A = this chain, B = another copy of it.
Amino acid sequence: MDLSVDVGGFVVKNPVIAASGVLGYGEEYARVGNIDWFGAVTVKGTTLRPRHGNCPPRIWETPSGLLNSIGLQNPGVDEVITHYLPQLAQFDVPIIVNISGETYEEFQEIAKKLADCPHVTALEVNVSCPNVESGGMAFGTDPGSCYRATKAVRRSWPGPLIVKLTPNVTNISEMAKAAVDAGATCVSLINTLLGMAIDIQNKRPALGNIKGGLSGPAVKPVAVRCVWEVFQSVSVPVIGMGGVFSWEDALEFIMAGASAVALGTAVLVDPYAPKKIVDGIQSYCESNGIDSMSSIVGIAQV
């Protein structure tokens, strides 16, 4: 059965995408699984200059959730273009590059460099990273900044443009609208929820960077609600994520309005998750007489 779906200017062969930050540049994952199980892959948050990331500890387990404070560790856009993307491009899967700037100008500059790279299918503008000091989530918590960051990228990137939204706001629909007004062809959500934990043995925050981003099944109800709201507010496709661990979870997002889902934490815990989820969606569709993904996108909207 054909599971392909349009996600705003490009088509993925199945609606299961690798979320940013959990696949490295494919090298490690390829030792365990097949990258082309995914409909598309998103690379780790890419910045203008290399970043070493935050002080450890960077990981803390919570009930059905994961707190991380990696801090956009990446080799910088130039190195990504020359070294990592060509390597990832060996696999026949569309590449989405997740980008993060500290200023609007930086966003534009990164986008420009990537516009010249043949391996990039789409950009995902990260206005929602809770783990960096300047920029990061700030762009995603105010509609004006969200608009300007998107616009900055739009100026130098003509292709499919995804804006990744944060749930740490009073009204996520406003942000989605601002992104679409500025030229986004797709919105993805949710990035992590801002959270923290205390290590009671040491009487101090569990993460070296104090606060971190919460992901995994724990956040799924918040993510589904955000997808539901955003689907009602904009007409571009939505990529849903936040705690997708099973094909049932994927269908929950799709029925709420997501054209595709992305897997973050699931890939960390279960390398074969993408395969299981794609297979699960496939057999669900077959046994329920569903012949195109688009016919169930948003079907639960009342």
Contact = CB atoms under 8 A, between A and B. Distances in A.
Nearest to A193: B222
Interface string A205-234: 100001110101111111011001000000
Interface stretch (A14-22, A154-162, A248-256): A248-256
A55 interface: no
A56 interface: no
A153 interface: no
Contacts of A195: 221-222, 224-225
Interface residues of A, number: 43
A302 B204 contact: yes
Contacts of A216: 63
A145 to B, nearest CB: 12
Interface string A53-73: 000000000111101000000
Contacts of A203: 255, 296, 299-300
Interface in A95-130: none
Nearest to A168: B170
Interface string A256-268: 1000000000000
Interface string A163-191: 00000111000000000000000000000
A277 to B, nearest CB: 13
- Which of A67, A170, A243 has the largest number of chain B CB atoms within 10 A? A170
A211 B228 CA distance: 10
Contacts of A200: 248, 251-252, 255
Interface of A: 62-65, 67, 141, 168-170, 193-198, 200, 203-205, 210-212, 214, 216-222, 224-225, 228, 243, 248, 251-252, 255-256, 296, 299-300, 302
Q: Which 3 A-B pairs have the closest CB atoms?
A: A195-B221, A63-B217, A218-B218
